[in-house]
Structure 1
Amino acid sequence: MKEFKKVEIKNLTKIFISGKNKVKAVDNLDLTIEPGEFVCLLGPSGCGKTTMLRMLAGFEVPTTGNIFIGNKDVANLTPDKRDTAMVFQNYALFPHMNVFDNIAYGLKVQKRPKAEINERVEKILKLMKMDDFATRVPSQMSGGQQQRVSLARALIMNSGVLLFDEPLSNLDAKLRLHMRDEIRKLQKEVGITSIYVTHDQAEAMSLSDKVVIMKDGKIMQVGSPIEIYQRPNSEFVAKFIGRANILKAKLIPEDGNSATINIFGHEYPSKEDLNGKSKEVDIVVRPETIKFDKKTHEGTVLKSVFMGENHEYEIEVNGQIIEAVLSNPHGKDIKSVGERIGFTFDHEALHIIDNN
């Protein structure tokens, strides 16, 4: 059985030079990806995630740093000399070859025996549920089918690490959801170490064991989707993943190591250890955690939009604007723009960003 590889990135930097200008696309990164893990590199355009993936694949040479796949430093090796396979954004299929030959191409380059090639292609076609597509050419298939062929071509190489370069960005929304589920299911079944670049937050959250948030060539936070969403370490991460209110508040020490959070003059319990000191903090409040069954606070509705399964509000309170989401609004007291509305915060969902 194939041994899937651990990936370690150490002090990785990539500087692009254009005339007198230097652009540091990747800035001294360290990252460890365990064997069999599915990791998403997520961030805005220009954050360095694609450059990092291209260095892992061997399409870019690092300016400094190391890339270990297993125990081997591959930072300066060509793509064919490292134990990786890649699924591209544009599928990169040969238009004149049928599905069978597209999938078999890498094995033919390796001069594998014909019987082995046939056996492995038939096996991967069955795994991908594409037995009936073997004789079709790319022009006879949909975008989703072509992407499955591209994935099959990468999987058949039996590499230790599988790389994805925004593979679903060319598909329509419904097909993206379907293919997202297919990729995760396949990765779980095969168990291959996978590194996936995307700018789509929902994609990263649904696929990943671990999410790596990047900005300006640096890693901002690494964690599970739940950790990243519920416990962001900065305002950037909080706002990049989902929607977030960032509210000014004060932490006040209580007896022992406990504390309270004072928001809009009301105190909520906190588990924060303050060492006896009060301090100003920012609080992350997700819109869906705001409750309307209690009237601890009151504000004026600035926006009231029915979205079917949810009703979305913008509420002005003490000069701050809060986004709030009322789930399952059917039969509930819906407020219009200009009306007053009462609400409270779920203290269990309050997350502190300490900027001091």
Structure 2
Amino acid sequence: MKSIKKVYLENLNKTFVTTANDQVVAVNNINLKIEPGEFVTMLGPSGCGKTTTLRMIAGFEMPTHGNVFIGEENVATKTPDKRDTAMVFQNYALFPHMNVFDNISYGLKIQKRPKAEIKERVERILKMMKMEDFSQRVPAQMSGGQQQRVSLARALVMEPGVLLFDEPLSNLDAKLRIHMRDEIRKIQQKVGITSIYVTHDQEEAMALSDRVVIMNAGIIEQEGTPQEIYQRPVNEFVANFIGRANILDGEIVGIDEGEVIVNIHGVGFTVKVYKKFDVGQRVRVVIRPEGVLVGKKDFTVKVDKSVFMGQNHEYGVDFFGSNLEISENNPTGKTIYKIGQQMGIGFDQQALHIL
């Protein structure tokens, strides 16, 4: 494998001009550093700019302005074939008339590599992907998951400095998606290649990534580890986009070293904080459904929804006129509350986060 490259996006912008001559800013002056060997996922709703950003890294779109560094080289104006990248596509993009060996070796043949080298590299990748027995099959003889592995093998065999993924699992069924995302992560860690992955699937992003980049309306809202993004969202958009979030009103009533006491409907909770707050300040507080504790006596609420989901029990309750979602883990042997019943609840103080 050739040297693994870092990626640096500097003031990257892409503006499209519509048929009505209006300007649409798809990517709005973003800056992002990706370390060598890091797996970074760009996550966000449709139209947020994540795919356009990936296409600018690959060279399929040219920036309106800004720079794309792969390693030390600014490739912003270079065509895809002049960049040290390889792409794994959503629709596999395999040649239907070629067998697996020929599909994987196609790029190496274009580069006019020696036949012996091509054979060695393709056979090595097939072994890594556990697909040695598939080399003579054509795409029509394989499942979607097998085709996606061939698509990944074709990218890896080029030994790129950076591997790019454009929603590669979106055409697979739910069970196969989970299996394939685990395979992709395992192979990426084994090879150690810098990887940039675009998806709108939150679970995929959490399972695959060293770092998640949340995009919205062409800007980066937050970047961090999956744990940081989930547990310490910077704003309501991120809190609502990653997982489920209950967002409550509170007031700061006390301050201590690195902690505050926040009053939520008359009950005080001690919360660890990462920025400065003032006594009397009104704040918004995030609590995930699994951070709501059933059976506590802090609040009494009425159950509006009660659904058994196997590994957890989902409740929706009326919390001072707003809906509060609760997810109680491992409900076996616990009291199950029915719609209309009163329930006592509290909040896990470690799960509270002030925006």
Worse-superposed segment, 262-271 or 225-234: 262-271
Aligned to 1:134: 135
Aligned to 1:157: 158
Q: Distance in 2 between matches of 1:88 and 1:256?
A: 49
For the residue of structure 1 that corresponds to 2:324, the secondary structure is: strand
Worse-superposed segment, 246-255 or 177-186: 246-255
For the residue of structure 2 that corresponds to 1:335, the secondary structure is: coil
Q: 1:255 to 1:185 in 2, by over 3 A?
A: closer
Aligned to 1:6: 6
Worse-superposed segment, 322-331 or 42-51: 322-331
Is the 8 Å Cα contact of residues 255 and 279 (structure 2) preserved in structure 1?
no
Aligned to 1:28: 29
Q: What CA deviation, in whole Å up to 9, does each residue of 1:112-150 have, x standing for no partner?
A: 000000011110000000000000000000000000000
Is the 8 Å Cα contact of residues 15 and 24 (structure 2) preserved in structure 1?
yes
Is the 8 Å Cα contact of residues 2 and 161 (structure 2) preserved in structure 1?
yes
Gaps of 5+ in 2: none
Code of the aligned partner of 2:327: V
Q: Distance in 2 between matches of 1:215 and 1:77?
A: 27
The total of aligned residue pairs comes to 353
Aligned to 1:15: 15
Aligned to 1:46: 47
Aligned to 2:98: 97
Is the 8 Å Cα contact of residues 12 and 27 (structure 1) preserved in structure 2?
yes
Q: Distance in 2 between matches of 1:275 and 1:141?
A: 58
Q: Offset of 1:275 from its aligned partner? A: 6.3
Q: What CA deviation, in whole Å up to 9, does each residue of 1:300-322 have, x standing for no partner?
A: 11111111111111111222221
Q: Offset of 1:340 from its aligned partner? A: 0.6
Code of the aligned partner of 1:98: N
Is the 8 Å Cα contact of residues 306 and 338 (structure 2) preserved in structure 1?
yes
Is the 8 Å Cα contact of residues 249 and 282 (structure 1) preserved in structure 2?
yes
Q: 1:275 to 1:65 in 2, by over 3 A?
A: closer
Q: Distance in 1 between matches of 2:131 and 2:211?
A: 30
1:302-313 correspondence to structure 2 within 5 Å: 302-313=304-315
For the residue of structure 2 that corresponds to 1:296, the secondary structure is: strand
Is the 8 Å Cα contact of residues 258 and 274 (structure 1) preserved in structure 2?
no
Q: Offset of 1:230 from its aligned partner? A: 0.2
1:281 aligns with 2:283: yes
1:259-338 correspondence to structure 2 within 5 Å: 259-272=260-273, 274=276, 277-338=279-340
Q: Distance in 1 between matches of 2:250 and 2:238?
A: 19
Is the 8 Å Cα contact of residues 257 and 275 (structure 1) preserved in structure 2?
no
With the length of structure 2 as denominator, give the TM-score of the two structures: 0.97
Aligned to 1:171: 172
Is the 8 Å Cα contact of residues 252 and 278 (structure 2) preserved in structure 1?
no
Gaps of 5+ in 1: none
Q: Distance in 1 between matches of 2:280 and 2:291?
A: 26
With the length of structure 1 as denominator, give the TM-score of the two structures: 0.97
Identity %: 64
Q: Distance in 1 between matches of 2:128 and 2:290?
A: 39
Q: 1:28 to 1:147 in 2, by over 3 A?
A: same
